[in-house]
Amino acid sequence: MARMSVSRFYAYYGENAALRDISLEIPDRQVLALIGPSGCGKTTFLRSLNRMNDFVKEFSIEGHVTLDGVDIYSSEMHPVMLRRRVGMVFQKPNPFHKSIFENVAYGLRIQGVRSRTILSDMVEKSLRAAALWDEVKERLDSSAFSLSGGQQQRLCIARALAVEPEVILLDEPASALDPISTSRIEELIQDLKTQYAIVIVTHNMQQAARISDQTAFFLSGELVEMGETSRIFTNPSDPKTEDYITGRFG
């Protein structure tokens, strides 16, 4: 079943079309990997799914993106409500200048949650889900900056989970991390997909092959092909896909 659906989607920066005629379905409880060379539009696409591009001047779109059947660019969906349902983790860990606890609690606090019990429960639940609880449970009041880069990124994932989103967008979440931290994030993504629809942008072909169920290959603002990851990597239908995944360009 598709959680989000994109049809005939175009994105523009001023006059330049960054994405052209994209149509695809984002399945629930699966990992969709977006791959393609730098500048192919995969990050623009990812950021279009929670309207983070709204802050970019001169950005405009055509076409439709729906979440559970509701067009996210229509007046029926407020961007603030959309972003509570479609969470995002960025390339570089960006914890707030707050304690570990307050970082995870932030999303709930801005929704007006005041109860200490509810906050504590959600913080623990989210940190457990992000596989960080055992490492930080003794020092929830320490600054988020006392954590390592990999821990900070898992904290950012916990922070995103705390507001109970339905879809999680990950923009190269492990590209700034060492191999051990990367494998922890990858394991975590495998756990999370049992509950969430996950879309991940990655430059790392092996990573896409390891963790995703579906793979979409973008090139020059167009979706070349999308399908089961195993098929895309073993038997792509488009020669451009094959050239890219075998390392002939990009």
Partner 1 sequence: MDRSRSSLSFARQFRNTVLGSLTFLFFGVAVAPLLLIVYVAWDSGKSVLDWSFLTTLPTGFPVGSEGGILNGIVGSLILVFLASALSVPVGVWAGMYLWQEGKSPVAHLVRLLSDLLLGVPSVVWGIVGFYVFSTSTGYGLHWGFSALAGGLTLGFIMIPIVTRVTEQALREVPLSYIEGAFALGASRWQTLRGVALPGAMAGIGTGILLGVLNVLGQTAPLVFTNYYNTGIPNSLVGSQGAVGDLAMQIFIYVHEPSKAMHVKAMAAALVLLMIVLVIDLGIRLLTWGSRKIASRV
Work out whether strand 222-228 and strand 214-219 pair parallel, antiparallel, or are unpaired.
antiparallel
Check residue 114 for interaction with partner 1 (CB under 8 A): no
Nearest to 217 by CA among 86, 229, 194, 9: 229
By CB under 8 A, what part of segment 172-201 binds partner 1?
Answer: none
Q: Least Å distance between CB 159 and partner 1? A: 7
10 or 106: CB nearest partner 1:
106
Check residue 83 for interaction with partner 1 (CB under 8 A): yes
Q: Least Å distance between CB 152 and partner 1? A: 11
Check residue 110 for interaction with partner 1 (CB under 8 A): yes
Check residue 106 for interaction with partner 1 (CB under 8 A): yes
Work out whether strand 16-27 and strand 167-171 pair parallel, antiparallel, or are unpaired.
unpaired
| Segment contacting partner 1 by CB under 8 A, of 6-14, 22-30, 94-102, 185-193 | 94-102
CB 154 within 8 A of CB 182: no
Residue 196: which residues within 8 A CB-CB, separation 6 or more? 29, 165, 166, 167, 168
Check residue 13 for interaction with partner 1 (CB under 8 A): no
92 or 240: CB nearest partner 1:
92
Tokens of 103: 């970082």
Check residue 84 for interaction with partner 1 (CB under 8 A): yes
Check residue 111 for interaction with partner 1 (CB under 8 A): yes
Please pick, from the candidates 16, 38, 55, 114, the single residue that binds partner 1 as defined by CB under 8 A: 55
* CA distances in angstroms from 248 to 82, 225, 243, listed in the order given: 39, 17, 5
Tokens of 110: 């801005």
Please pick, from the candidates 36, 63, 87, 150, the single residue that binds partner 1 as defined by CB under 8 A: 87
- Residue ranges binding partner 1 (CB under 8 A): 50, 52, 55, 57, 80-81, 83-84, 87-88, 90, 92, 94-97, 106-107, 110-111, 145, 156, 159-160, 163
